[in-house]
Amino acid sequence: MHAIVPPYLLARVAASAQYPKAAEAARATLAVPRGFHPVRSRLVLSIDETGALVAETAPSPDRTISDAQNTETLPGLTVRTEDAPATGDEAADQAFDGLGATFAFWWDAYRRNSVDAAGEALLATVHYGTDYDNAFWNGERMVFGDGDGEVFTGFTGSLTVIAHELAHAVTEHTAALVYSGQSGALNESVSDVFGALVEQHSLGQTADAASWLIGVGIFTEAVQGVALRSMKAPGTAYDDDVLGRDPQPAHVDDYVDTIDDNGGVHINSGIPNHAFYLAATALGGRAWERAGLVWYRTLTGGTLSSTATFAQFAQATVEAAAAEFGESSVEADAVATAWRQVGVLAAEGPTA
């Protein structure tokens, strides 16, 4: 049961006297239980090196958007399917486009056909609940609330939110990282990594040009903050009188030991998040091509434990980089150096 807004943040809103509507919405959001629950193709035309026109088939997304009509009943009323025109409902059309951009990323970057690599349909429900302050993946579909309007806006306008939640499905189908403690923080971090990469792919951005922010646009203008999380500078995404200060650490020395939030999965994900940012920016260029590929190979390699610690995951990424690019490659060095910079690998720690 993976949601974009962590429970500690909703708890701060729920206790707010400044935003009574948002407080009520946050309390209701925390109280809602979240159940866990044929391949299409398209024609692609290209020009080869001889100048000849080449036609080939590539997978195409199979999207269905439903409207819960402010109830908490899933899936809701179907409002848009693949090949259908825009509905005019902003949330429904943003969800449709976000699912499409995410599908395009996984295929273009890694030739992965949907979240399960076998053309799984992408399902989403919008307008879930009344003033519902979250978006989540329930094992079957994306679900989006509209926000309370005081602290949170709607969640479909942020591509990183959509891509983050769908990346949980990719993790389920690959490394199946247990959602608790360090493996749970890695699960969250992997979703942030690919959430950021989907946005960068969609915008055609290089690592240096990207914001590395997760959830831009989901706060109202009343909130002193730019996003839910920053991979570039964990702990700086917001600093607000009601929400408090972003609690994410960027270094293992500041790891938060807690029993809340499945052992701090949303807080401690800042450490591996920052390691990826450091590796990606050290390598430069389009982050999904080298650093992202290493993380993808780590997820899909079949050797990563589902209860992996930060150190085990770090070593697995170093080995994946060495296997993909060579033991003495700049990629393997950048990945190992990044993990040392956040304290997960020792200064003379494991290498490929």
DSSP strands (E only) in the chain: 2-3, 40-47, 53-60, 63-67, 77-81, 122-126, 135-137, 142-144, 213-214, 229-230, 239-240, 244-245
Work out whether strand 40-47 and strand 63-67 pair parallel, antiparallel, or are unpaired.
Answer: unpaired
Residue 13 φ/ψ, nearest 5 degrees: -65, -40
Measured CA to CA, the distance from residue 15 to residue 5 in angstroms comes to: 16
User: Is 196:101 a contact under the CB 8 Å cutoff?
Assistant: no
Please give the structure tokens belonging to residue 227: 């996003």
**Residues in CB range of 274: below 8 A, 6 or more apart:** 231, 232, 234, 250, 251, 342
User: 2, 266, 274, 319: which one is catalytic?
Assistant: 266
- Establish whether 324 is a catalytic residue: no
The three-state secondary structure class of 154 is: coil
> Please, what sign has the CA dihedral across residues 276, 281, 282, 284?
positive
Mark whether 24 is an active-site residue.
no
User: How far is Cα 179 from Cα 102, in angstroms, rounded to an integer?
Assistant: 22
Give me the amino acid identity at 272. P
How far are the Cα atoms of 25, 136, 212, 216, 327 from residue 32, in angstroms, in the given order? 11, 12, 30, 24, 49
DSSP per-residue string spanning 104-131: HHHHHHH---STTSS---EEEEES-SSS
Report the alpha-carbon distance of residue 133 to residue 149 in Å, rounded.
9
Question: Which residues, 6+ apart, have CB-to-CB distance to 96 below 8 Å?
Answer: 63, 65, 80, 86, 124
Burial of residue 229 (number of CB atoms within 10 Å: 0-12, 13-18, 19+): buried
| Residue type present at position 33 | P
Would you please indicate which residues are annotated as catalytic (active-site) residues? 165, 266
